[in-house]
Structure 1
Amino acid sequence: MPLHLRLTGLYVGLATLLATVFGVVVYLDAQAFYLQSDAARVRAQARPVIARVLTPLPSAQDLRARAGELQAALTGRDTTAVVLDREGDVLAGEREPTVGTERRAVVPPGPDGEASYIATDGARRVLVVALPLRSADGSLAGSLELLTPLDLIDEVLRRQRQLVLSGILVTVVAGTAGGLWLTTSSLAPLRRMIARCSRIAAGDFTGRLNRTPRNDEVGQLAAAFDEMAERIEATLAAHRRFIADASHELRTPLTAISGLNEVLLRGGQDDPESADRLAHAMFRQVERLRRLAERLLDLARLDAPLAARRKELDLGRFLWDLLPGARAVAPGRELTLRAGSTVVIPADDVLLEQALFDLVENAHRHSTPGAAIELGWAVVESGVEIWVADEGEGIAARDLPRIFEPLYRSERSRSSATGGAGLGLAIVQAIVHAHGGRIRAESQPGEGARFVITLPREVPSPTDAPAPVEAAPA
């Protein structure tokens, strides 16, 4: 059974149950109120008459003599009086055969012997009000029964029963209609979500659910679904770009090797000088392929957790020891270290060294000859910042948001002609994210670039998501 029908059935069932219980309680309370009020009215009307006729009442024998007068005084258009002796025999008045055979108490008998009952008088119900008649010494001389028909009260109760039943019927109909509308409208995003999931499974990521935001759980679910779909679409788009770029990067040296090999096979091997030149050219292309494959493997390897390889690292000592290797990566450059406060951070020294070497190599590759490179660190509120700054051509504003994507290179200067494959910055970002940190690039064309790594001073929680890439103008 569909969910909206089950929810509607539950709503209607609960509403019907509550309406039925409420109606029954109200009906029974009204019936008791009407009967008790009528009994109180009869007693209030009878007491002055009893006091007038039977005062004083010295004995039961005196009651037998005055029973007729009392019965006549209390019998009226809607009330019948019956006077009984102590044994229950009729002294005055007539009792219908059915009256008194089956009685249902309206209220329990009181300590003075007064009681009210519902009995039957043929096809009608009657209210029987019983009053004790006592002699002057307090002993029971007899009793008085006042019978009044319940026709008017029964008619009121009949109408009230009709109202209760009508209310229950209206509750069922309105609850069903309202429940179907509510559940159908509330679950509509879920049906759209099912359709969207089917389209996503088929590869279509267009369209979103939460076109009109709702401030409820279903709206939050739709918003979360839209966010998930956007991330999946972005991830798949990045993967497609990565595959296309990787194919292009691999095809270029392979095409070059194929062309060189074809030249060699067409007679180049007969000329030792040409053969040597062709062999060296093919070797360079093979080396390019090897470096590209190694960088791709490095990027894939960074998916493994790093917690087991972290250790307490004195950042100042680490960067000081890093300088000779950094100068080897950037030969001919003036490489300076700007020191900050002494700080110890949890980090994988091998991976952090690789990330900084990649940034230094990137600065060396894209800086003008003789330009200086600065490496430094500083303690900040969010952790520790480590930066590598160059005096190169800078990065165009349109390239800043994408420079950390695998195999991405700007069209103007950061091309394969400079010796890079577009994987270095992606690897740096992966290393920084693996440490629970973030990286940003600050640059303006012609004014150099500054890459800033922010690392936490404590080991981040495993549930923390990697921080997004930041790019800002200098």
Structure 2
Amino acid sequence: MKTRVTVLTSVVLCVILLVLDGFIYLTLHVRLMKIEEAAVLSKAQSIAQSMTNAPLSQQPFLFTNRTSSPTSPDDLTDHRTWLRQYGAFGQEILIVTTNHQVLAQIGRGDPNALLTEFASLQHPGDQTVHQLPNSTLFVSVPYYSTNGHSVTGYVLLESDISQVTTYMHNLLVLLLSGSVGAVLLAALGGYVVSAFAVRPINQMIRTVQRIQFGHLNERVAEPRGRDEVARLASTFNQMLTRMERSFEQQTRFVTDASHEILTPLTTIQGYVNLLDRWGKDSPEVLEKAIRALQNESTRLQELADDLLTLAAVESATKSMDKRANVVQIVEEVVESAIAHRPEATVLKDVQGTPVAAVAPSQLRQILVNLVENALKYSDPPAHIRIAAAAQGAQVELRVEDQGQGIPPEDLPYIFDRFYRVDKSRGRREGGTGLGLSIVKEIVETYRGDIQVESKLGVGTTFTVILPAVGSDVQQG
């Protein structure tokens, strides 16, 4: 990853620098050439204007040798004095007639080269500026008679621009060298930065490699800040915490399940041995053994049923009709509870006619398990209240008792499988320790919520939130 990031960064930076270098080079080259063209054109135009302003009768004598100092083109007599003010290093200036006769020259070059270039022009009468292959600029400007009606000659100027060419070449080398250096530095910096950025990821990889069963307490060091890597490390640690808790729950589940199964099996084995030794001849021992075997086999059957229910909650839910009449199911649960515990007081309080988007059999199982749990942990005579009401797109169910209550330290674990607040009393009064686990499993399958409030000596209230028919969260 570090190499890929470095290469990608370098390529992107290289493209950006090449585009920027090309823009700088072309912009500056065009600008410098325009300045050079404007300078030589202005000089040629100035010479041509001077020739135009001189009377036609005096133009042939402008370049004869006399010693008087010129003050204007009209009385110029020495072309070396007059044209010298326009002379510059690397420039050739010719003043020619319309029939290509050279009237004056500044510079030591061969005038035939300028005349040959001038003769190649398609429109010699027009003002011309163009660049020659040998790093020179060629300018041709006509000058006119004093009345401005006819061309009487031309000013030809050739200027060496090799300095501009050399400057642009050096600039190009400098830009390319700087770009190469910048790319190399960026590659080195990108490698260092990417190595620093992926260090937490490498730590996560090493942590995953070290994690084995029994070593789920490993955690990744979380970098400061809230960037993507920090959030990834935090999420990874949360996942490890859930995995550790899940593994602990599974380990405890296997242990508790084995214990729950082993206990009735041990009892059954003991009574079988008792029958084998003395039960054949003792009706009392036989009757006692039969009752015990019936109780333990029933207990095993209930445990198996609850385990199968837990395992099949989600798959069974998909094939069920999800429309439960809450009023009807609450009435059935209340009647069943009173039938089993006639001394108990079970009240119902249903507001309206709520319909839950839940399979009727599973809603019934939720209420039955909660009511049985309330009756089990309430001293006779028990007082239970079942309330239900529609709350917008949800149905709220409440099961309240006035029983013993749940200690605060036990509240986080009451939905764990085989967990009992009072283990000795739970076994004595029956039950598998899976009732609340089944309730939570069903509620979460429907994306609902279950909450519990309890106070020792006062009672416990379970609140179940389920989707109503027509809500967006109901299962399909």
TM-score range normalised by the length of the shorter chain: 0.7 to 0.9
Deviations 1:193-216 (A, max 9, x none): 333333346663233336124433
Shift of 1:404: 0.9
Name the CA distance, whole Å, in 1 between partners of 2:395 and 2:322. 16
Name the CA distance, whole Å, in 2 between partners of 1:110 and 1:421. 113
Normalising by structure 1, what TM-score? 0.84
- 2:444 aligned with 1:450: no
Q: Is the 8 A contact 1:374 1:390 kept in 2?
A: yes
Structure-2 change in CA distance of 1:100 and 1:81 (3 Å): closer
Q: Given residue 131 of structure 1, which amino acid in structure 2 is its aligned partner? A: V
**What secondary structure does 2:395 align onto?**
strand
- 2:142 aligned with 1:132: yes
Partner of 1:421: 432
Q: Is the 8 A contact 1:83 1:143 kept in 2?
A: yes
Normalising by structure 2, what TM-score? 0.83
Partner of 2:441: 430
Name the CA distance, whole Å, in 2 between partners of 1:211 and 1:348. 44
Deviations 1:99-129 (A, max 9, x none): 66999xxxxx999523142453xxxx43333
Name the CA distance, whole Å, in 1 between partners of 2:332 and 2:125. 105
Partner of 1:395: 406
Name the CA distance, whole Å, in 2 between partners of 1:86 and 1:49. 16
State which of 346, 349, 366 in structure 1 corresponds to 2:377: 366
Q: Which runs of 5+ in 1 are unaligned?
A: 104-108, 465-474
State which of 18, 25, 39 in structure 2 corresponds to 1:41: 39
- 2:8 aligned with 1:10: yes
Matches within 5 A, 1:74-473: 74-75=83-84, 76-78=87-89, 79-86=91-98, 92-93=104-105, 95-96=109-110, 112-120=126-134, 125-135=135-145, 136-150=147-161, 152-200=163-211, 204-209=215-220, 211-304=222-315, 306=317, 308-380=319-391, 383-411=394-422, 415-458=426-469
Shift of 1:9: 1.0
Q: Given residue 19 of structure 1, which amino acid in structure 2 is its aligned partner? A: L
Q: Is the 8 A contact 2:449 2:466 kept in 1?
A: yes
> How many pairs are equivalent?
451
Question: 393-402 or 162-171, which moves further after superposition?
Answer: 162-171
Structure-2 change in CA distance of 1:448 and 1:149 (3 Å): same
Name the CA distance, whole Å, in 1 between partners of 2:449 and 2:278. 55
Shift of 1:441: 1.4
- 2:19 aligned with 1:27: no
Name the CA distance, whole Å, in 1 between partners of 2:474 and 2:193. 37
Partner of 2:82: 73
Shift of 1:155: 4.8
Structure-2 change in CA distance of 1:138 and 1:415 (3 Å): farther
Q: Is the 8 A contact 2:400 2:461 kept in 1?
A: yes
Q: Given residue 11 of structure 1, which amino acid in structure 2 is its aligned partner? A: T
Name the CA distance, whole Å, in 2 between partners of 1:172 and 1:179. 10
Q: Which runs of 5+ in 2 are unaligned?
A: 65-77, 118-122
Q: Given residue 197 of structure 2, which amino acid in structure 1 is its aligned partner? A: S
Larger radius of gyration: 2
Partner of 2:67: none
Q: Given residue 141 of structure 2, which amino acid in structure 1 is its aligned partner? A: L
Q: Given residue 320 of structure 1, which amino acid in structure 2 is its aligned partner? A: E
Name the CA distance, whole Å, in 1 between partners of 2:56 and 2:474. 97
What is the aligned-residue RMSD (CA, Å)?
3.3
Q: Is the 8 A contact 1:302 1:430 kept in 2?
A: yes
Shift of 1:358: 1.2
State which of 53, 56, 64 in structure 2 corresponds to 1:55: 53
Shift of 1:257: 1.8
